[in-house]
Structure 1
Amino acid sequence: MYPKINDNLFIQEASSDASETEVEYRSRIAEVEDEAFLIEIPMQESNGRLKKLHIGDELSVYFMTEGGIKNYFYTHVLGFKEDVIRMVRVHKPAKDEILKIQRRSFLRVSAELELAARTAAGIRFLVRTEDISGGGTSFMTDISVPLEMGDHLQCWILLPYRNGSSEHAQFEAEVVRMKKLENGRSLAMLKFVNILDGERQKIIRYCFERQFDFRNR
């Protein structure tokens, strides 16, 4: 499903500058062409600053549809059109390149990410995740890291993005399941119980990029 004329778009630049990738801009679709969307100059809502774009700039975009569904896609700037207002022409993705994420469910992807954790008893350990979503993550563990259902962990995870930049996301998680495996290890499954929205958005962005890469292999 494509966005329609007058639909709002929420945009982040896929920049190597980590501080710039965290800024979200808002725009609106003014016209739709066969191969492109014409959008208003994106504006940062907190301060009214307009985003200066250049041909070739890569953008991560989402728009909302009924039921609170976020529809994500990647695009890039093709050019500009001078009319009553200046508009930005961006590439129109194929329909199967638009990923839908339900409001109360999160896209889960396989991912080997570096996760540092600390238990309530102060035990610190470093693991690699098995998968991750905006709602939780899982990792392999053994008897050297004694974990039980209900344990709370303070966690820091390293998220590498497509543009070469990396960010840490911090959260508190609860162990909701321990699954024993034949090799003597266990799979610890966590859900996020205390996470700032900005930290969750970092993880959702990573999941979206990861899924986008899977689809294009």
Structure 2
Amino acid sequence: MSNQAKKVEFWNNQLIELHTYDKEIYMTQIMADVNDLFIIQRPVNNNNTFMPVTDGFPITVYFHDQQQGLCTFDSTICLYKNKLAVVRPAMDAIKKAHRRRFFRVPVETEVSLSTLPADNQEAEPYGTYVTHDLSGGGLSFLCPHKLEEGELVAGSLQLDTARSRKSIAFTGKIINNVKIRNKRYKVSLEFTEVKEAVRSDIIRFCNFKQIELRNKLRNYSLE
């Protein structure tokens, strides 16, 4: 067993991404580790659509490890006592993900948006919102109304931890609007212009939030 494999850790409530062979991406959480199976919540994609699941369905799993960063392994989904489960991999089957991937993390932080100003024109503010999730590639937030899909916007994102406060600027594009409860919309935004140093700050912030969640929950077990 490699040293890398020994360091990989799984924990209850850990976020994981499931990728299908047709390149659909779904988010879920590990709820328990039973008989070499990870019991998971029903996976859902960015449009709030549940993953269609059959026993033995093949998937590729991505997750963030504190020591190794983004890691991946191939597995299958199965049914265990009427619950969905992912077959736990052998430790030497877990690989560090080398291709560029941005792992989405549920994070509530402030984001302010405005129109992208044209020449000799001032930007018009859209408003300030609270993020629903965040990654190095973009974010989503809840909004009382739709925003125009495909529109470019200027934004400011607040990255606050117990040790630091930082506001970063970006340009993004509205990707889609998904209607959810209480007549609100989950609006997805993709970063189109962001300095790589700034993107690294965002990724570090997401990783910090993952570790923070792990440390809060590591002494609790969900059955």
TM-score under structure 1 normalisation? 0.52
Aligned to 2:131, which of 111, 129, 132? Answer: 129
Amino acid at match of 1:187: K
Whole-Å Cα distance in 2 between the matches of residues 175 and 149 of structure 1? 5
Which residue number in structure 2 is paired with residue 92 of structure 1? none
Residues of 1 paired with 2:165 and 2:99: CA distance? 26
2:112·2:156 contact (CA, 8 Å) conserved in 1?
A: yes
Deviation at 1:73, TM superposition (A): 3.3
Q: Note the C-alpha offset of 1:71.
A: 6.9
Structure number with higher strand proportion: 1
Report the AA paired with residue 100 of structure 2.
R
Matches within 5 A, 1:55-66: none
Distance 2:97 2:211 in 1: 13
User: Which runs of 5 or more residues in structure 2 are unaligned?
Assistant: 5-63, 69-90, 118-122, 218-223
CA distance 1:197–1:71, change in 2 (3 Å): farther
Does structure 1 retain, via aligned residues, the 8 Å contact 2:66–2:211?
A: no
Q: State the Cα distance separating 1:103 from its structure 2 match.
A: 3.3
Matched with 1:147 is 147
Asked if 2 retains the 8 angstrom alpha-carbon contact of 1:71 and 1:101, the reply is no
Corresponding residue pairs, total: 127
1:1-217 mapped onto 2 (5 Å cutoff): 2=3, 73=67, 102-120=98-116, 122-124=123-125, 125-143=127-145, 147-162=147-162, 164-216=163-215, 217=217
Find the aligned partners of 1:206 and 1:100 in 2 and give their Cα distance.
20
- State the TM-score, normalized to the length of structure 2: 0.50
Deviations 1:99-141 (A, max 9, x none): 9565321121111101111123733111110110000100011
Q: Is the 8 A contact 2:136 2:200 kept in 1?
A: yes
Deviation at 1:205, TM superposition (A): 0.5
Q: State the 1:157 CA deviation.
A: 0.6
RMSD: 2.9
Aligned residue for 2:181, secondary structure, equals: coil
Mapped contact 1:135–1:192 kept (Cα < 8 A) = yes
Please identify the structure whose Cα radius of gyration is greater.
1
Query: For residue 200 of structure 2, what is the amino acid of its counterpart?
Result: Q
The structure with higher relative contact order (CA 8 Å, sep 6+) is 2
Aligned-residue offset at 1:211: 0.8
